[in-house]
Structure 1
Amino acid sequence: MYKDVIQLKSPNLSEMVRDELIRLITQGVLKPGTRLNEVHLAAKLGISRGPVREAARELEGLGLTTSRPRQGFYVADFTDAEIVELYEVSPWIHQALVYDFMTYSNAETCRAILRDVDRIQTGSIPAFSETLLQFRQRMLDHVHNRYLAEHALSLFRRFYIVAALVRAEDGARRMKRIIETQYFFWAALAEHDQIKAIEIMQADSRYWLQDIPPRFSHAQDPQKG
């Protein structure tokens, strides 16, 4: 199960372990419902159990793991209802991000982020999902309100995992739509068009609310559909 784990060496090990666990979840090495064996993970990562436990607790706060008394931590198993909630809250997070950028950033910052969209890779779904998250992390470095940035990153990490859990045959079309949405959104912000930027993300959330939950439900339960 842990053959793809890489050894970590960093002064902030718990954060590195957290990111590695997220990577393993999105790549399907750690599947929903899987117990996180702290002893085995620590040995594979070449570290003590403490950072593994800290990372698991942090992921629990993000909703990506769950803890059971005297059993430890398990990878969360998303329900389609939880996915609906993610896409319902997305417009509010993006509206707050629009306000933050309109208040504290300038057009050149937004244009720089717009150019950064080109760094999102579209060769494969895993590469796309990972580089999309990296793009969003870089974008959040420009957010003035750090509490907002923290909540936005939590949402984007959940999207990262949901995208990995839903296996769809039309990946190229989905990637194209996401890339185009990012271009339109940041172009609107560069034009200082707050209303258009908000409308773009509201329409995007409505689209994914119709698209993702049914796919996820069918992927989790082969008897459906």
Structure 2
Amino acid sequence: MAAAIGKVTSKGLSETIGEELVSLIANGVLKPGQRLNEVHLAESFGVSRGPLREAARELEGQGLVISRPRQGFYVADFTPRQIVDLYEVKGWIDQAIIHDVMTYLDRATCREILADIDSIVTTDKVSFANSLFAFRQRFVARLHNRILAAQALSMYRQFHIVTALIDVSDSEDRIARIVQTLRDFWQALAEGNSAHAWQVMQDDAAFWRKNVAPHFETNPTDITQK
């Protein structure tokens, strides 16, 4: 695992460590349910255990890590219930993003974000997950409401991991669908059509709630209770 971890030297230490941990989870270096070895990770990052624990606590608040008394931190293991809940939250945040964009961003900025979709790497599942998250980070940085931006980024971190973890045979089709949805969404916003942008997100969420959750299924009754 040491070869996959780089020294942390930038400012915002706990935030930077948190991003590194998210990347390690999404890339499969840290597995769902795996305990975080604080000593090894701190040494690998070149930091003390204090900032590492702070980062882990922040990720715990985002649902990516869980803590167990006297045992430490563990990578969260997604369930169908969590996937369904995640898409429900996404619906709320999508509405807020549409409102923020239509209120504060001009159409030229929307077109710039639309063009930025071309930068998303689609060659393989892990590269796509990392590149998609980077795209989302860039457009979230343009949002006017910074509380909304923080909540959106927290949600996208979870989708980052879900996108990388899901094991399917039709990954190319899935990637193409996600990219096309992004194009349709930002094209609608660039045209000032908020109603169509919202419909795109509703249709997309309905599809993925049915499609993704079963791949994380541990208890078939979990997803039928909503």
Aligned pairs, how many?
220
State the TM-score, normalizing by the size of structure 1: 0.94
- Note the 1:168-183 alignment, pairs <5 A: 168-183=168-183
Q: Does 1:207 pair with 2:211? A: no
Looking at structure 2, the residues matched to 144 and 64 of structure 1 have their Cα atoms a distance apart, in angstroms, of 26
SS at 2:212 equivalent: helix
Q: Distance in 2 between matches of 1:137 and 1:171?
A: 23
Gaps of 5+ in 1: none
Q: CA deviation at 1:123?
A: 0.7
SS at match of 1:6: coil
Matched with 1:41 is 41
- Give the equivalent residue in structure 2 for 1:126: 126
Q: Displacement of 1:12 after TM fit? A: 2.0
- 217 and 2 in structure 1: CA distance in 2 versus 1, 3 angstrom threshold: farther
SS at match of 1:154: helix
In the TM superposition, what whole-angstrom CA distance separates every residue of 1:191-222 from its partner, at most 9, and x where no partner exists?
0001000000000000101110112227x99x
The share of aligned pairs that are identical, in percent, is 51
Farther off after superposition, 197-206 or 39-48: 39-48
Report the AA paired with residue 132 of structure 2. L
- The list of structure 1 runs, each at least 4 consecutive aligned residues, that deviate by more than 4 angstroms after superposition, is none
Whole-angstrom CA distance in 2 between matches of 1:207 and 1:6: 37
Aligned-partner SS, 2:87: helix
State how 1:57-68 maps to structure 2 within 5 Å: 57-68=57-68
**One-letter amino acid of the structure 1 residue matched with residue 161 of structure 2:** I
TM-score, normalising length: structure 2: 0.93
The alignment partner of 2:92 has SS state of helix
Give per-residue Cα distances to partners, 1:96-127, cap 9 Å, x unaligned.
Answer: 10000111111001001000000100011111
- Is this contact kept in 2: 1:25–1:161, CA < 8 A? yes
Maintained 8 Å contact 1:2/1:29: no
Distance of 1:212 and 1:119 partners within structure 2: 25
The residue number in structure 1 matching 2:193 is 193
Distance in 1 (CA, whole Å) between partners of 2:12 and 2:85 is 32
Instruction: Give the root-mean-square deviation of aligned CA atoms.
Output: 1.5
